[in-house]
């Protein structure tokens, strides 16, 4: 039966036969290739950025040959969809070769780009071999705000030019935003700008990850860009679609709240179940943010088959006996509303199993927004018994 596009968008995921492929066994469906950490912007909140000509990054990047090997092995293992991201992936001169190779292998291909390097040649490539979609982040809708975030003079007009090229050519573009201190006042206009141009898709992300390389100065910039929990909640409430989804998809914990059935296991998300990420220097990760040294497999010393079949189960088997973890995150009534995961815990506190005070505050503010009174009471009783962190004073929000 042929369905109309609008009907397909309304369908539950479980209605798609592809869904059966996911459950219950681990099977690769999609993967991310971080082609480079280099970027022609220098966004204040960026967790990965290195300068466009950074020699160390250039020296470590996977070659075209290495990328082809990884893509070929991924498709042999069943991958259907690949995201090409960075840094700014279009900084790579061989981007068209990489893109075409992925298409030749039959993959759906998405690209994350800041759009400033979109050229007529790239547009032709996308017209001839259409991507699944191109996602562009909108940092501001005025030159002042956009360039305050990117730190790059002339970047706003380059972004507008690139975006116009893509849209005029009919390429499927999805627009999204990061919610930052530097663009907070403009978020309403940013949302309107994106919604007018991408009718079926707009999202903003209020969670700023710390740097993968741990750079302390850049981390300070990121922390300064983080919004206060009340500001995050105000944004979420002001976005009618997002607010409805939060209300529909997240329900108060049942009473009395029971510890998780996962026991001491650290990984409860989808990491390593149907997807993986490869960093620019060939590091296999269960997801982009999971950069703990024990959770990284070097593809230059091994292969994807081994990484997926032997390494991933080892990582997914990680557990914690730490009291702080067991008292808090493992059995937390607010966990569904929280940014917490082992990867983010490591980026924040250098451990895979540490509660993060900022995350608690955001989760609590969200719970208040959604009237989860009982969950908040349980969370507050625990906090009074044993305050999570003395670090709070060091967090600048």
* Token output for 16: 């798609």
For the bound state, the minimum distance from the C-beta of residue 87 to ligand SF4, rounded and expressed in Å, comes to 5
d(CA 278, CA 288): 8
Phi-psi category of residue 272: left, alpha or beta, with phi > 0 → left and psi -120 to 50 → alpha = left
Q: Is 109 helix (H, G, I), strand (E, B) or coil?
A: strand
Minimum CB distance to ligand SF4 smaller for 191 or for 337: 337
Q: Which of 328, 347, 366, 372 binds ligand SF4 (CB under 6 A)?
A: 328
For the bound state, the minimum distance from the C-beta of residue 251 to ligand SF4, rounded and expressed in Å, comes to 16
d(CA 298, CA 45): 27
Minimum CB distance to ligand SF4 smaller for 303 or for 389: 389
- With CB under 6 A as the contact rule, which of the stretches 53-61, 86-94, 197-205, 233-241 interacts with ligand SF4? 86-94
Number of residues in contact with ligand SF4 under rule CB under 6 A: 22
- Give residues with Cβ within 8 angstroms of 127, minimum separation 6: 169, 170, 171
In this structure, are residues 116 and 155 in contact, taking their beta carbons and an 8 Å threshold?
yes
Q: Which of 28, 32, 35, 41 binds ligand SF4 (CB under 6 A)?
A: 41
- With CB under 6 A as the contact rule, which of the stretches 36-44, 121-129, 194-202, 309-317 interacts with ligand SF4? 36-44
DSSP percent split of the chain into helix, strand, coil, nearest 5:
50, 10, 40
Decide: is 290 part of the binding site for ligand SF4 (CB under 6 A): no
Of residues 92 through 131, those in contact with ligand SF4 by CB under 6 A are: 114
Decide: is 338 part of the binding site for ligand SF4 (CB under 6 A): yes
For the bound state, the minimum distance from the C-beta of residue 106 to ligand SF4, rounded and expressed in Å, comes to 28
Decide: is 225 part of the binding site for ligand SF4 (CB under 6 A): no
For the bound state, the minimum distance from the C-beta of residue 49 to ligand SF4, rounded and expressed in Å, comes to 4
Q: Is 48 helix (H, G, I), strand (E, B) or coil?
A: coil
Minimum CB distance to ligand SF4 smaller for 62 or for 362: 362
Decide: is 363 part of the binding site for ligand SF4 (CB under 6 A): yes
For residue 116, the tally of other CB atoms under 10 A from its CB is 23
Q: Which of 39, 74, 79, 177 binds ligand SF4 (CB under 6 A)?
A: 39
Minimum CB distance to ligand SF4 smaller for 297 or for 359: 359
Decide: is 86 part of the binding site for ligand SF4 (CB under 6 A): yes
Q: Which of 88, 147, 186, 236 binds ligand SF4 (CB under 6 A)?
A: 88
- Strand 38-39 with 50-51, pairing: parallel
Report in angstroms the alpha-carbon separations of 380 from 295, 337, 340, 364, 368: 33, 15, 17, 9, 12
Residue 24, preceding peptide bond in cis (omega within 30° of 0): yes
**CB pairs under 8 A, 24+ apart, for 22-26?**
22/273, 22/274, 26/272, 26/273, 26/274, 26/308, 26/312
Decide: is 335 part of the binding site for ligand SF4 (CB under 6 A): yes
| Residue ranges in contact with ligand SF4 by CB under 6 A | 39, 41-43, 46, 49, 86-88, 114, 328-329, 332, 334-335, 338, 340, 355-356, 359-360, 363
């Amino acid at each position: 039966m042929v369905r109309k596009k609008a009907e397909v968008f309304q369908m539950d995921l479980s209605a798609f036969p592809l869904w059966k492929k996911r459950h219950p066994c681990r099977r690769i469906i999609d993967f991310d290739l971080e082609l480079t950490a280099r970027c022609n912007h220098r966004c204040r909140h960026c967790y990965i950025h290195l300068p466009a000509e950074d020699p160390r990054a250039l020296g470590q990047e996977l070659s075209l040959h290495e990328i082809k090997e990884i893509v070929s092995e991924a498709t042999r293992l069943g991958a259907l969809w690949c995201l090409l991201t960075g840094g700014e992936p279009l900084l790579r001169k061989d981007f068209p070769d990489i893109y075409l190779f992925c298409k030749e292998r039959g993959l759906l291909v998405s690209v994350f780009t800041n759009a400033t390097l979109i050229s007529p040649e790239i547009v032709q490539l996308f017209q001839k071999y259409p991507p699944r979609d191109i996602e562009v982040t909108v940092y501001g809708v005025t030159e002042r705000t956009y360039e305050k975030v990117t730190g790059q003079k002339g970047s706003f007009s380059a972004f507008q030019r690139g975006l116009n090229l893509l849209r005029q050519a009919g390429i499927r573009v999805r627009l999204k935003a990061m919610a930052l201190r530097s663009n907070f006042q403009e978020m309403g206009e940013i949302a309107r700008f994106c919604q007018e141009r991408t009718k079926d898709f707009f999202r903003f992300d209020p969670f700023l990850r710390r740097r993968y390389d741990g750079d302390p100065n850049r981390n300070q910039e990121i922390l300064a860009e983080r919004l206060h929990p009340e500001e995050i909640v105000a944004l979420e409430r002001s976005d009618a679609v997002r607010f409805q989804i939060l209300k529909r998809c997240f329900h108060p914990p049942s009473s009395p709240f029971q510890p998780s059935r996962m026991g001491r296991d650290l990984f409860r998300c989808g990491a390593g179940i149907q997807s993986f990420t490869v960093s620019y220097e060939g590091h296999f990760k269960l997801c982009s943010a999971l950069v703990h040294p024990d959770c990284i497999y070097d593809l230059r010393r091994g292969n994807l088959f081994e990484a997926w079949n032997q390494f991933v189960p080892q990582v997914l088997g990680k557990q914690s006996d730490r009291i702080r973890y067991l008292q808090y995150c493992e059995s937390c009534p607010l966990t569904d509303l929280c940014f917490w995961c082992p990867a983010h815990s490591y980026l924040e506190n250098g451990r895979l199993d540490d509660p993060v005070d900022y995350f608690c505050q955001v989760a609590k503010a969200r719970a208040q927004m959604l009237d989860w009174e009982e969950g908040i009471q349980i969370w507050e009783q625990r906090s009074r018994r044993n305050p999570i962190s003395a670090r709070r004073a060091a967090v600048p929000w």
